[in-house]
Amino acid sequence: MAKTVYLHFGRGKTGTTYLQAYLARNRARLRQFGIDYIPADGRDGEAGHQQFAKSFIDALPRYMEEPRAPLAARQAVQAAVLASASEHILISSENFPLCKFEALRTFFTRLDNVAAVHVIFFVRSQDELAESEYNQIVKLKGETCCFETYATSRIEGCDYFEEATRLEAVFGAKHIQFGVFDAAARNIVPQFLDMLGIDYTEFETPNTEAANDQFGNISLGYYALQAVRALNAIAMIDRRAIDQAISSALKGRDVPALMFDSDWGRRFRETYAASNEAFSRRFLGRTMTDLGGRRYSDDERDAIRQQIAGLNAQFKRG
């Protein structure tokens, strides 16, 4: 049977971790629709194929750990693809955008039972993406720089037209699907299943309130984020337990870690307006300079930023 391999490229902070957990939980149901979400790297306990994707990254970014047994990860995926009785194979990792695309595609096309490789890629409004990624790397990767430094000089992969063009050159336009992550709607599961040609009403209803309910995927509040960032400069053991304790102590008293006010956020988005326009026109079939889908409105954002400013003033006086 000639198979189509679907590679879900994420990207990170577009509901990928929650989606991977959902797909793994519904693996048996997906097979009934001819789609095999193969066990991650041969391990049933892992939802995403992170180690497999890492094996195709030539130069790991400074925050990323070395892959565990990359050859074994590739062999496990190859064996699962060859052994699968399903017509479609599904693999997901937010690390795929960092891979050497040609090598990744060749890995599958050289398999006798693979006829095509298809890519699914989600994008997100660049301002909330920057905030979410910054929160993640402070929390899990020990980042110590301030947000302004990160947003203005360190964030990567936000020029979606460039990213999409690179993908198109390797996989071909007809083998790529793009979606826009809507952080307010939290509808990543039905949107993704629709892109696979599946009626999501045939599946369990996604629990959006439980999405990303583990510490590794919950965004830190503003003051927890500042505390964790300060501690990142100190070499300490058992940091994960300390960070969890900080987050727990501030639970219910902290505020969302919004770094942009509405004006700065708009100006940040405007730096990507030309890219968004070209990307949306060519790959989404509509023209947008602003991708939308933001979790917070401008009024909500400014109210939270004013609250943060007031609390900061209190701390300075105290």
DSSP assignment of 138-159 equals: HHHH---S-HHHIIIII--S--
What are the boundaries of each domain within the chain? 3-123+182-215
The whole-number pLDDT of residue 214 equals 40
pLDDT of residue 215: 38
Residue with tokens 């997100």: 124
User: What whole-number distance in Å separates Cα of residue 78 and Cα of residue 262?
Assistant: 47
Give the pLDDT of residue 226. 93
- Block mean pLDDT (10 aa), the chain, length 318: 94 93 93 95 74 94 84 95 97 96 98 96 98 93 94 94 98 97 92 94 67 58 93 78 85 92 98 98 97 97 94 62
pLDDT at position 45: 61
Tokens of 105: 């595609």
Phi and psi at 121, nearest 5°, equal -135, 125
d(CA 47, CA 40) in angstroms, rounded, equals 6
Dihedral angle, C-alpha 156, 158, 159, 162, nearest 10 °: 70
Tokens of 179: 């979606």
Radius of gyration for the alpha carbons in the chain, expressed in angstroms and rounded: 20
Instruction: Using the CB atoms, write b or e for 257-292: b if 16+ within 10 Å.
Output: bbbbbbeebeebbeebeebbebbbeebbeeeeebbe
Q: What pLDDT is stored for residue 6 in this prediction?
A: 98
Q: Which helix (H) or strand (E) holds 135?
A: helix 126-141
Quote the pLDDT of residue 286.
96
User: How far apart (Å, rounded) are the C-alpha atoms in residues 13 and 134?
Assistant: 10
pTM value > 0.85: yes
Cβ contacts of residue 62 below 8 Å, gap of 6+?
none
Beta carbons of 102 and 54 less than 8 angstroms apart? no
Burial class (CB in 10 A: 0-12, 13-18, 19+), 255: middle
Structure tokens, 247: 């987050």
Tokens at 60, concatenated: 């790991």
Among candidate residues 9, 21, 31, 47, the one with its CA nearest the CA of residue 88: 31
